[in-house]
Amino acid sequence: MSNEAITNKASELKADAKSGAMAEKLYQLGVLLSLLLLCAVMSVLSSRFLSFDNLMNVASQAAVSAIVSIGMFLAILTAGIDLSVGSVLALSTMMMGIASDHWGLNPYICILVCLGTGALLGLANGLLLTKLHLPHPFISTLGMQKMARGIALFVTAAAPISMFPDEIQFLGNNSVGQVPVSFILVGILYAAMYLFLTRTSTGRYIYAVGGNKEAARLSGIKVNSILNLVYVISGFTAALAGLVLAGRVNAVYPLAGLDYETDAIAAVIIGGASFFGGVGSIGNTIIGVLLIAVLRNGLNLLNVDSAFQTFAIGAVIVVAVAVDVLRQNVMKSGR
Amino acid sequence: MLADGILLKVEGLTKRFPGVVALDGVDLEARAGEVHAICGENGAGKSTLIKMLTGAYTPDSGTINFEGQIYHGLTPRKAMGVGIACIYQELNLIPHLSVAENIFLGREIYLAEKINVLDRKQMREKAAELLADLGLAISPTARVGTLGVGHQQMIEICRAMWSNAKLIIMDEPTSSLSEKEADDLFRVMAQMKARGVTILFISHRLDEVRANCDRVTVMRDGKTVARVDMKDSSIDEIIQLMVGRNIQNKYPKQRAAHGDVVLKVNKLNRKGVLHDVSFELRAGEVLGFAGLVGAGRTETARAITGADPYDSGNIEVFGKPVTIRTPLDSINAGIAFLTENRKEQGLILIQSVAFNATIVNMHKYGTNGWLSLKRVRDTAQKICAEMRLKTSGMEMPVGKLSGGNQQKVVIAKWLLSKSRIFIFDEPTRGIDVGAKVEVYKLINQLVADGAGVIIICSEMEEVLGMADRILVMHEGEITGEMSREDATQEKIMYAASGFRQAS
């Protein structure tokens, strides 16, 4: 190849890489703009939207969803999914309620029961995938969704438990000045997850497993351990979200977290992660979470029928995944 | 039909992509009943040209004249309609369906078309006829998934024949075939040629081009540089046209001093796959594994490196017995396995060059659990510069690199793993002549540094050109061993066909 050809080739490659990175940036900018546009439209349509109370309301609802979405993001990053987050949230908090109310345990132990239950259920999801070799986490976590919900309903014969000690309510109900503790928690969790994913080898291996499982395995990465870890984290964050929710409403109930997986999936995909795995950034997931939260809140404020709300979230997921497929095709057609 | 029996005449075909001219005024001419080769290094524009002919891309300018009809661009449907078929490297068959069902897929024979009732009997008979015409002993009712790659390719050819294709484009058809399967393919190609079908044959294997093609169009950097008659030119001339320079030595073999045994494999067994495989590898040695596709060479490598399990046998590395159950055990023992399918098994295509190069034992690049992104990038940059990798930067996704450069990233990754034993499975598959020589030089360098190297090659010339010693496998057993000096293509074929060497 002549020198000229090499220079041409290099500039072609550079253009390719640039256009790929550009497309990603544009997409993220687009999502951010959609969020702002949605906020603008809502503030025009409803005078209450921009009120301090309402914005705090949106944000505290988003906080719970944001924590659930961390686990969902990891699962989707490995080309998997976790459909059990909502039920895991319910069962973990019910176990905490029983530990506190029926057994009278120390509140900190109760919190550990909650988080431990979530992590264990997540581990079960992971082992179903890696040891029993169920074909796709869709199956294992769908099974877990039903099993955990069933147990959550069974343990108190479907009765809720309320009135918790302050320690348990702390994350969901307290503020530092004007800032709710749950917001600070979300900030810490997202920052920690960002560092974990970009600055530790384990975090990078999660991307590797999602990008090409077989290549990762042959490169000496313990793929099964990585997958187990991902589902443990997902169970843990679902339980942690449950703890925040329980604190906020000062009650636990077996139907808590219903349909949370749908919102989390929507948030993660809107945030630019790909169902094909290996692509996405945790920072953008929060934008997806806010978009969904604003959408739900806005529809509520406008007194839109809840049936249409359900429809709208479904439509958002379909559109987001369709956009994901388009983006992946654009990236593939590079060569 | 055009004058002089010319079926296809492409003139001034140009295609630009953002920032690059992929094809720059390409001319191509093929006669009816001709096997016409298109040669060129990777990135020369062969794929873009094919995509234009199959209608996947529309040209910016230029014309495609097919049977006297001038087209300024084709669509996939139109291309199929006029009689252009393409057999891609990745076959487009449905493994769970039968041979007959695959042949007629989309062009079925009906008993009653209005109510969508198929004439399965006639399709079976017609399929048997098509297969027999091509001299193939394949049952029309066999499930395609149970057939070997060679036979699957034949099914694709039958599909093209059934669709009355006048021009069949074959993109690297022999890259995953054994020599025997390839010979079958050439026989079938000759038959199609005799019936007046034109074949555009794209291959990196110039000996095949020489033996089976009438004329060759050579492409370089998006342009056609020459069209020559095969009988008037030599392989060396074609290589020179392709690369624009003279490659003196296809196999720049340099011998290194042999040291101690670094790898000893004793009676490795895996039921139905490997039978009592035993051999030794010395420091500084290049050990070649020859044999037909499916003879157990890749399986041997996979068992040694923990990619697949094995039932019994011992492995010693540097004189010490090791237990290898996972790829990580193999890496820790100092054995690197460079798989044959770099896209499926070697690389994470959406990730960057730096990521892929440093993925093995990535935790090494950090302190106290924190990764140093700078160290990752610097390490990758250094090794890629040493290997003369052509990339716009360390953040480039490897999926965007050419085959040769992708292979360099795979090698870079294993060089950084600090291995002392390297197993290369088809190290030069699908990469161009220039890149091949660079890979061979890297192998020279490895053995000069005292590493032990195993190469698994389906191209006999390559194994003869690069190995110090050759082991031949047949159906999971080692059936022959010969030194570089004693080895000949005939001896290898003899052992590869299952005849044990008279020793």
Nearest to A9 among B43, B326, B371 (CB): B43
pLDDT at A6: 46
Q: pLDDT-based confidence at A309, cuts 50/70/90? A: confident
Inter-chain CB proximity B339 and A201 less than 8 Å:
no
Residues pairing with B170 in the sheet: B87, B201
The Cα A113–Cα A75 span in angstroms is 23
**Nearest CB to B396; choose among A6, A13, A220:** A13
Of A15, A211, A220, the CB nearest to B20: A15
A20 compared with A269, residue with greater pLDDT:
A269
Which among B450, B442, B242, B432 has a CA at the least distance from the CA of B338?
B442
User: In the prediction, which pLDDT does A15 show?
Assistant: 53
Which of B429, B46, B9 lies closest to B218 in space, CA to CA? B46
pLDDT at B503 over 50: no
The token duo for B320 is 């010490």
Asked if residue B437 has pLDDT above 70, the reply is: yes
- Asked if the C-beta of A212 comes within 8 angstroms of chain B's C-beta atoms, the answer is yes
Residue B20: predicted pLDDT:
66
Nearest-Cα distance to chain B for A233, in Å, is 18
Q: What is the pLDDT of residue B117?
A: 84
Q: What are phi and psi of B234, to 5 degrees?
A: -110, 165
Tell me the nearest-neighbour CA distance from B346 into chain A, angstroms. Answer: 5
Q: Give the pLDDT of residue A5.
A: 47
Question: Tens of pLDDT along B260-306?
Answer: 999 999 999 999 899 999 999 999 999 999 987 778 999 999 999 99
Average pLDDT over chain A reads 89
Average pLDDT of chain B to the nearest whole number: 88
pLDDT band for B250, please (50, 70, 90 cuts). confident
Instruction: Identify the CA nearest to A137 among candidates A88, A89, A84, A82.
Output: A82
| Contact between chains at A335 and B369 (C-beta distance less than 8 A) | no
Q: Which residues of A6-24 are buried (b: 16+ CB within 10 A; e: fewer)?
A: eebbeebbebbbebbeeeb
Closest among B289, B389, B394 to B340, alpha carbons compared: B289
| Residue in chain B lying closest to A201 (CA) | B363
Report d(CA A255, CA A270) in Å as an integer. 26
In three-state secondary structure terms, B455 is strand
* CA B375 from centre of chain: 34
Q: Which residues of chain B does A211 touch, with a Cβ-Cβ cutoff of 8 Å?
A: 348-351
B171-201 residue pLDDT tens: 888 877 888 888 989 999 999 999 899 999 9
Within 8 A of A329 by CB-CB distance, chain B residues are none
Residues B23 and B26: their CA atoms lie apart, in Å, by 6
Report, as an integer, the average pLDDT of B61-89.
90
Mean pLDDT over residues B332-336, rounded?
A: 95
Chosen from B48, B337, B351, B394 to mutate, greatest number of chain A CBs within 10 A: B351
Q: Which tokens belong to B436? A: 């091949």
> What count of other Cβ atoms lies within 10 Å of the Cβ of residue B441?
13
Q: Do B371 and A12 touch (CB under 8 A)?
A: no
A186 touches B at CB < 8 Å: no
Q: What is the pLDDT of residues A3-57, one digit of tens each?
A: 454 445 445 545 555 555 666 777 788 888 888 998 999 899 988 898 988 998 8
The nearest alpha carbon in chain A to B337 belongs to A218
CB nearest B400 (choices: A13, A215, A219)? A13
The alpha carbon of residue A254 is apart from the nearest alpha carbon of chain B, in Å, by: 39
The residue assigned the tokens 């095969």 is: B230
A145 — alpha (psi -120 to 50), left (phi > 0) or beta?
A: alpha
CB distance from A222 to chain B under 8 Å?
A: yes
Work out the minimum CA distance from B44 to partner chain A, whole angstroms. 10
Token reading at B174: 């022999």
Shortest Cα distance, chain B CAs vs residue A333, angstroms: 9
Per CB-CB distance under 8 Å, the chain B contacts of A13 are 390-392, 396, 400-401
A7 touches chain B (CB under 8 A): no
Q: Under an 8 A CB cutoff, do A218 and B337 touch?
A: yes
- Whether A192 has its CB under 8 Å from any CB of chain B: the answer is no
What average pLDDT does the segment B131-158 reach?
88
Q: How far apart are CA A245 and CA B296, in angstroms?
A: 58
Reading the block at residue B55, the tokens are 């209608």
Between A89-98, B323-332, B454-463, the lowest mean confidence (pLDDT) is in B454-463
Q: Is the pLDDT of residue B409 over 80?
A: yes
Is a pLDDT exceeding 50 seen at residue B119?
A: yes
- The pLDDT, as a whole number, for residue A1 is 40
pTM above 0.80, yes or no: no
Partners of B24 on chain A (C-beta within 8 Å) are none
The mean-pLDDT minimum among A94-98, A137-141, B401-405, B481-485 falls in B401-405
Q: Residue B437 has which token pair?
A: 């020589």
pLDDT 10s digits, B216-237: 999 988 899 999 998 888 888 8
Average pLDDT over residues B22-33: 91
pLDDT at A335: 38
- What Rg, from alpha-carbon coordinates, does chain B have? 24
Instruction: Give Dmax over CA atoms of chain A in angstroms.
Output: 80
Banded model confidence at residue A287, pLDDT cuts 50, 70, 90: very high
- At B433 the pLDDT is 76
**pLDDT confidence of residue B369:** 79
Any B CB within 8 A of A6 CB: yes
- Give the chain B residue whose CA is nearest to the CA of A199: B371
Report the residue of B374, B400, B407 to disrupt the A interface, i.e. the one with the largest count of A CBs within 10 Å: B400
Q: Is the pLDDT of residue A246 over 90?
A: yes
pLDDT interval class at B18 (50, 70, 90): low
Q: Is the pLDDT score of B1 beyond 60?
A: no
Euclidean distance between CA atoms B159 and B172, whole angstroms: 18
CB contact under 8 A, B348 and A11: no
Contact (Cβ atoms closer than 8 angstroms) between residue A201 and residue A142: no
pLDDT tier, A79 (very low <50, low <70, confident <90, very high otherwise)? very high
| pLDDT of B377 higher than 80 | yes
> What mean pLDDT comes out for the span B65-78?
90
CB contact under 8 A, B348 and A9: no
Taking CA–CA distances from B221, the nearest residue in chain A reads: A5
Q: So what's the pLDDT on residue A289?
A: 95
Question: Are residues B460 and B492 in contact, defined by beta-carbon separation less than 8 angstroms?
Answer: yes
ipTM for the complex shown: 0.83
User: Residue B137: pLDDT above 90?
Assistant: no
